[in-house]
Amino acid sequence: MPDQISEKGASLCTMGAYNFELLESEGVATHYRGVIEGGEVIRLADASRPPWQMAIDLTQVPDLPNEGRDYDYDHYHEAAGHNYLIPLEIVFRNEVPIGSSLRSRTAPEDHGLDFDSWPEGAVDLDEPIIEFSTKYEESDRYLTREEADAIAGRADIDALADLAREVNRIITEQAESAGLTHQDGKIECLYYDGEIRVADVVGTFDENRFSYEGTQLSKEVLRQHHKRTQPEWVQAVKAAKAEAKQENVANWKSLCDRDPQPLDEDVLTTARNMYCAGANAYTGQELFDAPPLSSAIGAVQRL
């Protein structure tokens, strides 16, 4: 989805900074140092405008050699030493919404749910599901616990799962305080001399799925819009990924012969207002010039 959405980057930076500061207040280690304004690193509360740059502690991302879809993680970890970005995404799910890949990969009974097939609506979970997927492979794939443990290197897989649960709890509680529902999300982590820290960015509308009064509040809105309005492109992407898997080709994009059409201006405006109004609501601050969240979501419903 290549379209540029006005102020989306600032809204994601704002939410990411807010969540990093929230995590650190709860004792969760992160790579966050602050946001940047006027060349200085400051706390989000001291920013005079929505930030678009964040300062972080750096880590190593070694090369990950591959032949087709076979990746050499031993090489990655030999080069990484004791300071590296763990090449995993740790996924947590509180719900199974429409569009979740869990629906196509697993059956409800795999998670102790009493359904013969996935219902049309979102499914609430009593306990979050924790999954692991690859980070740097051309096509992400979900892993067994044993596969994830091998890919994690020196990082303890159980500690990663526990950290994901804690981050999920904190974001879920913050979302609830803002009138939002936190459906699912992910974290990425770095390993430094025995310590695991939350890295990348966390708890944004691109990394996580939220809803407001039953309506999606995340980039899933645009995914579903593309599926409705550009089904030929969606099918071409699906076919290219299937061919890449069959032919052991790492980069599926080289096999896709279609590009998406640009989104209409009214769709881009709706998306901009969704991101900005959502960030205002989540942080409890009027950082962006945006309509009330209820109005922004009303426009999303009309797409």
| Per-residue H/E/C for the chain | CCCCCCCHHHHHHHHHHHHHHHHHHCCCCECEEEEEECCEEECHHHCCCCCCCEEECCCCCCCCCEECCEECHHHHHHHHCCEEECCEEEEEEEEECCCCCHHHHCCHHHHCCCCCCCCCCCEEEEEEEEEEEECCCCCCCEECHHHHHHHHCCCCHHHHHHHHHHHHHHHHHHHHHCCCEEEEEEEEEEEECCEEEEECCCCCCCCCEEEECCEEECCHHHHHHHHHHCHHHHHHHHHHHHHHHHHCCCCHHHHCCCCCCCCCHHHHHHHHHHHHHHHHHHHCCCCCCCCCHHHHHHHHHCC
Residue 133: pLDDT above 80?
yes
The structural domains of the chain, with segments of one domain joined by +, span 8-301
The pLDDT tens digits of the residues spanning 256-272 come to 988 889 999 999 999 99
Predicted confidence at residue 245, as pLDDT, reads: 83
Predicted confidence at residue 1, as pLDDT, reads: 62
What integer is the mean pLDDT of 150-172? Answer: 98
CB-based contacts of 58: which residues, under 8 Å, 6+ apart? 31
Tokens for 260, please give them. Answer: 């998406």
* Phi then psi dihedrals of residue 104, to 5 deg: -90, -20
d(CA 122, CA 95): 6
Q: Judge: domain 8-301, CATH 3.50.30.60.
A: no
143-152, 252-261, 272-281: least confident range: 252-261
Based on the number of CB atoms within 10 Å of its own CB, is 214 exposed (0-12), middle (13-18) or buried (19 or more)? exposed
CB atoms within 10 A of CB 96: 25
Tokens for 226, please give them. Answer: 């593309």
Q: What is the pTM of this model?
A: 0.91
Query: Which amino acid belongs to residue 246?
Result: Q
Query: Dihedral of CA 99/100/101/103: which sign?
Result: negative
d(CA 236, CA 258): 7
Percentage above 70 pLDDT, the chain = 100
Average pLDDT, the chain: 94
Predicted confidence at residue 121, as pLDDT, reads: 83
What integer is the mean pLDDT of 100-107? Answer: 88
CB-based contacts of 82: which residues, under 8 Å, 6+ apart? 154, 191, 192, 193, 194
The pLDDT tens digits of the residues spanning 285-302 come to 999 999 999 999 999 999
Predicted confidence at residue 187, as pLDDT, reads: 98
CB atoms within 10 A of CB 146: 9
Tokens for 191, please give them. Answer: 């390993």
Predicted confidence at residue 164, as pLDDT, reads: 99
